[in-house]
Amino acid sequence: MFNSKSLFKSLLITLTLAGATVTGVHTIAKAQGTPGLVIFGNRDVDILNYYLDFGGVAEGRDRYRLRIPQKKLPNGATRFVISYPDYFDGKFNTDKIEVRVNGKKDNSLPLKNVVWDEKNHLIQIDLAQPLLNPKKLELVFSNVKNPDVGTYYFYAKVFPAVNAPVPQQVGAWVISINP
């Protein structure tokens, strides 16, 4: 039958495989904060970094941290327009949207208005005062209800504070929602 050596060996192999599986799942969950590798998609757009605080689980609640680097804001900003695909069936809470400087909660910019236009698939964020000295910004969308599993391109346009107020394409966040 089984001797103690073969039983110990089987147990050791089982524990090793279980540990590798758990570690692999943890690694995948931690990778949610990066834009990842984009093989297909619009080559004319810059991919921006983002982070989902609660892992991006389908149909769950989450906080989206959509980052815009300082170099993308050479003329400051007065308004941000975020467009998303028509197949995105998540929900946003406009009362829980912030614009943070350097990602710090205590350094949120005052907002004049936040409009979620569901029909046209966009969110418009108006600053109370123009941001003249560009800094690294983070658009924080709290209490978001995630959509179904999939990959969603969120495109960012910025209305500059200096020069003509014509919207400038900043880039896109390629957001992945997991099962």
Nearest to 97 by CA among 136, 147, 70, 137: 137
Q: Is the Cβ–Cβ distance between 167 and 99 less than 8 Å?
A: no
CATH-assigned architecture of domain 35-177: Sandwich (2.60)
Q: Which amino acid is at 7?
A: L
The number of helix segments (H) and strand segments (E) in the chain equals: 1, 9
Predicted model pTM: 0.77
The structural domains of the chain, with segments of one domain joined by +, span 1-33, 35-177
pLDDT tens for 50-86 read 999 999 999 999 999 999 999 999 999 999 999 999 9
Alpha helix stretches (DSSP H) within the chain: 4-30
When pLDDT is cut at 50, 70 and 90, the band that residue 124 belongs to is: very high
